[in-house]
């Protein structure tokens, strides 16, 4: 496969902006990491007109895809977990070109998983978990059990990824295989939700009880990143200030629901300031 693709990746490797080239072959993995192509070429570049450009190739009965991805987009995937395959690509892909050991250094950084990077990713998963859990519960209360079921499946996926991160590992495509070894309690919840013979309403009732307990156990862990950012400023924050804070950007869409949850748990506090309007107050958020 490398011989077939060599003219394609050599052309990219000669570009000064190219940082590294990875080859991932379908035959070496049964996991869905190549978009059903026989091979995937991932070219990482410093900058490009678009953050991700994909091109498909065909030769006889062999197919391949070329991903040209910017360094910024790659780090966005790694931080936000929006492309779960990228960790597999970096750890298991064959390095065909590596300018100044860029890919080897990246692999080392991912393997070491710096403390702050891990808690930021935990914060992202925690925010997604809170939204899915609260909305799932609301759907259940209103009698929309199928919608509640869908949200709770997603909630358990975020809880699974959070559990893997808690143990110091990167969530992979096969996250449930990881969770089965690391957090069997979480795995059991997922198994019971999707495989139980009980009716959907009963399954959800039991899940809400068990998952709320596990969620409460992880509040300090999940809120650690957000609270550490908030503590960097002595004055209370407006919601807009928090929304536009770069560190919180990856989960700003879920920020409102997370803040309300943490206010309820007395980890974040409300500070009010009177406006010119009668009985109307500006609302600020603080950790003290």
Q: In this structure, are 46 and 119 located in the same domain? A: no
Q: Which of 83, 112, 141 is the last residue of a domain?
A: 112
- Say whether 236 sits in a helix, a strand or coil: coil
Q: How many CA atoms lie within 13 A of 42 on its CB side?
A: 26
Residue 208 lies in a domain: yes
Q: In this structure, are 8 and 85 located in the same domain? A: yes
Query: Strands 281-286 and 39-45: what pairing?
Result: unpaired
Q: What confidence tens digit (pLDDT) does each residue in 146-204 have? A: 999 999 999 999 999 999 999 999 888 789 999 999 999 999 999 999 999 999 999 99
Question: What average pLDDT does range 74-87 have in this prediction?
Answer: 86
Question: What average pLDDT does range 211-236 have in this prediction?
Answer: 94
- How far the first Cα of the chain sits from its last, in Å, is 59
- Say whether 272 sits in a helix, a strand or coil: strand
Q: In this structure, are 145 and 247 located in the same domain? A: yes
Q: In this structure, are 205 and 245 located in the same domain? A: yes
Q: What confidence tens digit (pLDDT) does each residue in 225-264 have? A: 999 999 999 899 999 999 999 999 999 999 999 999 999 9
Residue 284 lies in a domain: no
Q: Which of 69, 92, 112 is the last residue of a domain?
A: 112
Per the structure block, which two tokens stand in for 211? Answer: 């998952």
Residue 251 lies in a domain: yes
Q: In this structure, are 121 and 192 located in the same domain? A: yes
CATH code at 126? 1.20.120.330
Total domains in the fold of the chain: 2
| 65 or 33, greater pLDDT | 65
Residue 206 lies in a domain: yes
- Say whether 69 sits in a helix, a strand or coil: strand
Q: Let me know: does 158 contact 132? Beta carbons within 8 Å.
A: yes
Question: What average pLDDT does range 115-131 have in this prediction?
Answer: 93
The contacts of residue 49 (CB under 8 Å, 6+ apart) are: none
Q: Which of 66, 88, 112 is the last residue of a domain?
A: 112
Q: Let me know: does 209 contact 187? Beta carbons within 8 Å.
A: no
Q: What confidence tens digit (pLDDT) does each residue in 40-72 have? A: 999 999 999 999 999 998 888 888 899 999 999
Residue 287 lies in a domain: no
- Say whether 30 sits in a helix, a strand or coil: coil
CA distances from 35 to 9, 11, 24, 41, 241 (A): 19, 23, 11, 11, 39
Q: Is the pLDDT of residue 30 over 60?
A: no
Q: Let me know: does 34 contact 59? Beta carbons within 8 Å.
A: no
Q: In this structure, are 95 and 211 located in the same domain? A: no
Question: What's the confidence (pLDDT) of residue 6?
Answer: 80
Q: Is the pLDDT of residue 81 over 80?
A: no
Q: Extract the runs of DSSP E, i.e. beta strands, from 76-214.
A: 94-98
What is the pTM assigned to this prediction? Answer: 0.84
Measured between alpha carbons, how far is 211 from 126 in angstroms, rounded to an integer? 13
| 126 or 27, greater pLDDT | 126
Q: Is the pLDDT of residue 117 over 90?
A: no
Kindly report the number of other CB atoms within 10 A of residue 136's CB atom.
Answer: 25
Q: In this structure, are 91 and 120 located in the same domain? A: no
């Amino acid at each position: 496969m490398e011989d077939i693709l060599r003219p394609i990746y050599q052309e990219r490797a000669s570009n000064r902006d190219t940082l590294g080239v990875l080859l991932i072959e379908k035959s070496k993995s049964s996991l869905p990491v190549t978009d059903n192509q026989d091979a995937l070429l991932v070219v990482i570049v410093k900058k490009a007109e678009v953050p991700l450009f994909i091109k498909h190739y065909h030769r006889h009965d062999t197919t391949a895809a070329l991903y040209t991805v910017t360094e910024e987009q790659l780090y966005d995937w790694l931080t936000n977990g929006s492309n779960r395959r990228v960790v597999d690509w970096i750890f298991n892909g064959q390095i065909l070109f590596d300018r100044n050991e860029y890919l080897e250094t990246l692999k080392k950084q991912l393997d070491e998983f710096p403390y702050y990077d891990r808690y930021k990713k935990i914060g992202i998963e925690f925010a997604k978990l809170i939204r899915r859990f609260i909305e799932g519960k609301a759907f259940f209360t209103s009698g929309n059990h199928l919608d509640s079921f869908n949200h709770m499946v997603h909630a358990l996926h975020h809880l699974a990824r959070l559990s893997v991160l808690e143990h110091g590992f990167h969530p992979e495509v096969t996250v449930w295989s990881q969770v089965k070894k690391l957090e069997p309690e979480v795995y059991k919840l997922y198994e019971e939700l999707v495989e139980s013979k009980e009716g959907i309403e009963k399954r959800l009732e039991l899940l809400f009880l068990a998952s709320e307990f596990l969620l409460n156990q992880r509040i300090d862990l999940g809120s650690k990143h957000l609270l550490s950012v908030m503590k960097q400023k002595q004055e209370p924050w407006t919601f807009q200030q928090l929304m536009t804070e770069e560190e919180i950007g990856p989960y700003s869409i879920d920020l409102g629901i997370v803040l309300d949850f943490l206010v309820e748990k007395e980890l974040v506090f409300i500070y009010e300031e009177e406006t010119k309007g009668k009985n109307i107050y500006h609302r600020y958020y603080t950790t003290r």
